[in-house]
């Protein structure tokens, strides 16, 4: 192909593969890697019964996978410049197959958590390698505002579709079926890689000398310890237990050692400069609030749909289709706003949070024991749209304040909250408040209800007791959604006064020559 077109071609494929097929295959690889993982959280209930584990154990393994995805960010380009794409894919595919086999068979919680952690790293490594090769085909101008809508449509869309597939396969067979399906898909990817790709380098391989592996391990221990504290806090009664105290101590110690390495090492795993960029604290706060608001569907909506409406797993997961539809609409809006209209960041950030707060307000008014599932379609659609708009807009904003040298380190820092402990922290807050609100409301509603009341026989007492608990649950749900709505409205007002979101600059990927120079400096 002519010289001017060379940079936009996906060069890892053999010559007989057409250019359009190359782009499609890279996107297919990325979707397949996003479907793969250590465990699939939609099958938690089946795994709990099959593996004799608690729900907290399976969720801990799932969060470990997210930590693995987050912690590998700072070294992704180093790995790309050390190995060819063919070598990476030929390693990642069988490694993920092995991870699926182990997680499907093991009953050891430490083994499950460790394997899921590495499965998350492999999952992100494969996804990055597939998408980085196709970036210039999608946006020859290296515009991140074009690239990130594609990335997050694949990442967030795959989450919804993967959950749907997991539940459907588990319903027709068992939770092992998803693992067998993913392993078959990975075998297909393995075969396509072996048959259609070749070793291609655009520069001499850089050795992996100088990477602070111990620093990466310390950050991982810190994140896993924090997640352990928030995930098991309710089970162990928080700081009245030795386990939570020990987890907190390990988190503090690993964080202190990580900070020390940032200060004393020349090339730490995450540089101290990465924490000093303008408005990074505000971005962390925005992602923390996003995780707080998105924890409501995980905790409150599940209590409502399972405890009150008695939805089975198929009805419950069917809402993912509407969440996926909202993801598509939000992705289209973000693309149009940033690429076509060249707008700033305040409008999409405000709109994204407004849609998520709108979901909370919808739920406040919709809670009814006789409601139909169709009532949940619109709020679920709004939540999905707001979710992806915020992810795209805030990540594109990072590209305009952080140079490429520290860009992936900052993404990892944001991932500490975004895919690390932010969600489990939000869930822990809701669960803790729920422990106080539900007994208080039940006591208020049943203050004159007791077994010595001569107006009640035993059968009547039990039926009235059950109805009182049901009404207390409904009142508690409405109260909690109400408080979340109030917090949401106040937070929206705060966004209106934020000045750092007014700019409309979009970052661009540096040219290969510049990236080569930066990689060599890190390797020095």
Distance CA 38, CA 42 (A): 13
Residue percentage of the chain with pLDDT more than 90: 31
* Nearest by Cα to 509 from 154, 121, 77: 77
Q: What's the N-to-C CA distance of the chain in angstroms? A: 36
pLDDT band at 7 (very low <50, low <70, confident <90, very high): very low
Which tokens go with 290?
A: 């996003």
The mean pLDDT value for 214-239 works out to 90
pLDDT band at 451 (very low <50, low <70, confident <90, very high): low
Residue the block writes with tokens 């071609």: 9
pLDDT 10s digits, 230-254: 889 888 888 888 989 999 999 999 9
**pTM for the full predicted model:** 0.88
* Nearest by Cα to 227 from 372, 71, 344, 77: 71
Neighbours of 439 (CB within 10 A): 12
Distance CA 171, CA 328 (A): 26
Query: What pLDDT is stored for residue 217 in this prediction?
Result: 93
Query: What pLDDT is stored for residue 77 in this prediction?
Result: 83
Residue the block writes with tokens 């089946």: 46
Q: At what angle do helices 109-138 and 213-232 cross, to 10 degrees?
A: 120
Residues 62, 407 contacting (CB under 8 angstroms): no
Residues 47, 102 contacting (CB under 8 angstroms): no
Residue the block writes with tokens 């180093």: 78
Q: How far lies 364's CA from each of 316, 378, 482, 484, in Å?
A: 19, 13, 6, 9
Which element (helix H / strand E) includes 324? helix 319-335
* Nearest by Cα to 424 from 156, 122, 66: 66
411-414 long-range CB contacts below 8 Å, 24 or more apart?
A: 411/73, 412/70, 412/71, 412/73, 412/74, 412/270, 413/270, 413/274, 413/275, 413/280, 413/284, 414/283, 414/284, 414/287
CATH class of the domain defined by 274-426+484-524: mainly alpha
Per CATH, 13-210 and 274-426+484-524 having the same topology is answered yes
* Nearest by Cα to 418 from 181, 105, 124, 131: 124
pLDDT 10s digits, 286-328: 999 999 998 888 888 888 888 888 888 888 888 889 999 999 9
Distance CA 434, CA 254 (A): 31
Listed by start position, the domains of the chain span 13-210, 212-268, 274-426+484-524, 439-483
Q: How far lies 156's CA from each of 103, 117, 173, 435, 516, in Å?
A: 23, 19, 26, 31, 31
DSSP characters over 220-262: HHHHHHHHHHHHHTTTTTGGGSHHHHHHHHHHHHHHHHHHHHH
> Helix (H) and strand (E) counts for the chain?
20, 0
Secondary structure letter of residue 508 according to DSSP: B
Q: What is the mean pLDDT of the chain?
A: 85
Q: Which residue has the higher pLDDT, 401 or 464?
A: 401
Residues 159, 35 contacting (CB under 8 angstroms): no
Cα-Cα-Cα-Cα torsion 381, 296, 120, 219, nearest 10 degrees, comes to 140
Query: What pLDDT is stored for residue 265 in this prediction?
Result: 85
Longest dimension (CA), the chain: 94
pLDDT 10s digits, 143-185: 888 888 999 999 998 888 888 888 888 888 788 888 899 999 9
Who's near 320: CB < 8 A, 6+ residues apart?
160, 161, 163, 164
Query: What pLDDT is stored for residue 426 in this prediction?
Result: 85
Neighbours of 289 (CB within 10 A): 21
Query: What pLDDT is stored for residue 332 in this prediction?
Result: 93
pLDDT band at 523 (very low <50, low <70, confident <90, very high): low
Q: Which of 135-139, 357-361, 448-452 is predicted least confidently?
A: 448-452
Residues counted in the chain: 524
Neighbours of 113 (CB within 10 A): 22
Who's near 371: CB < 8 A, 6+ residues apart?
309
pLDDT 10s digits, 58-96: 889 889 999 999 999 888 888 888 888 899 999 999 999
What SS3 state is found at 489?
A: helix
Query: What pLDDT is stored for residue 3 in this prediction?
Result: 38
Query: What pLDDT is stored for residue 252 in this prediction?
Result: 94
Q: Which residues on neighbouring strands pair with residue 508, listed in sequence order? A: 143
Phi, psi at residue 197, to the nearest 5°?
-110, 165
DSSP characters over 55-71: HHHHHHHHHHHHHHHHH
Res. 485: pLDDT tops 70: yes
pLDDT 10s digits, 109-154: 899 999 999 999 999 999 999 888 888 777 777 788 888 899 999 9
Q: Provide the CATH topology of domain 13-210.
A: Growth Hormone; Chain: A; (1.20.1250)
């Amino acid at each position: 192909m002519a010289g001017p077109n060379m940079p936009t071609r996906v060069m890892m494929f053999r010559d007989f593969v057409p250019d359009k097929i190359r782009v499609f295959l890279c996107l297919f690889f990325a979707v397949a890697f996003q479907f793969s993982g250590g465990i699939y959280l939609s099958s938690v209930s089946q795994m709990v019964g099959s593996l004799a584990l608690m729900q907290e154990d399976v969720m801990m393994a799932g969060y470990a996978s997210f930590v693995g995805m987050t912690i590998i960010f700072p070294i992704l380009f180093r790995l790309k410049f050390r190995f060819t794409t063919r070598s990476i894919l030929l390693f990642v595919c069988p490694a993920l197959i092995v991870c699926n086999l182990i997680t499907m068979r093991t009953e050891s919680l430490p083994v499950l958590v460790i394997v899921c952690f590495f499965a998350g790293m492999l999952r992100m490594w494969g996804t990055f390698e597939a998408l980085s090769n196709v970036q210039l085909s999608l946006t020859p101008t290296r515009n991140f505002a074009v690239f990130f809508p594609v990335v997050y449509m694949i990442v967030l869309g795959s989450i919804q579709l993967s959950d749907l597939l997991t539940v459907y396969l588990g319903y027709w067979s068992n939770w092992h079926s998803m693992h067998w399906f993913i392993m078959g898909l990975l075998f297909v990817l393995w075969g396509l890689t072996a048959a259609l790709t070749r070793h291609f380098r655009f520069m001499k391989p850089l050795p992996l000398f100088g990477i602070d592996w111990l620093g990466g391990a310390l950050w991982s221990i810190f994140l896993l310890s924090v997640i352990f504290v928030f995930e098991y806090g309710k089970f162990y009664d928080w700081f009245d237990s030795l386990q939570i105290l020990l987890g907190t101590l390990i988190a503090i110690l690993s964080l202190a050692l990580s900070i020390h390495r940032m200060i004393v090492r020349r090339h730490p795993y995450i540089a101290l400069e990465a924490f000093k960029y303008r408005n990074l604290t505000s971005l962390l706060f925005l992602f923390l609030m996003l995780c707080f608001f998105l924890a409501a569907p995980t905790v409150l909506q599940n209590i409502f749909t399972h405890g009150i409406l008695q939805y089975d797993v198929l009805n419950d997961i069917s809402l993912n289709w509407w969440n996926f539809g909202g993801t598509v609409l939000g992705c289209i809006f973000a693309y149009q706003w940033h690429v076509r209209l060249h707008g700033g960041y305040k409008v999409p950030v405000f709109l994204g949070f407004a849609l998520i707060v709108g979901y909370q307000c919808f739920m406040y008014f919709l809670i009814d024991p006789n409601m139909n599932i169709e009532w949940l379609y619109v709020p679920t659609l709004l939540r999905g749209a707001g979710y992806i708009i915020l992810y795209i807009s805030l990540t594109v904003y990072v590209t305009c304040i952080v140079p490429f040298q520290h860009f992936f380190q900052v993404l990892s820092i944001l991932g500490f909250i975004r895919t690390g402990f932010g969600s489990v922290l939000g869930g822990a807050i809701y669960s803790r408040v729920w422990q106080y609100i539900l007994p208080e409301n039940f006591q208020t509603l049943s203050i004159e209800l007791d077994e010595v009341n001569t107006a009640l026989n035993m059968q009547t007492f039990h039926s009235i007791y059950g109805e009182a608990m049901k009404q207390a649950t409904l009142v508690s749900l409405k109260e909690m959604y109400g408080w979340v709505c109030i917090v949401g409205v106040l937070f929206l007002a705060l966004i209106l006064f934020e000045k750092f979101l007014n700019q409309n600059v979009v970052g661009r990927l540096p040219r290969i020559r510049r990236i080569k120079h930066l990689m060599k400096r890190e390797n020095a």
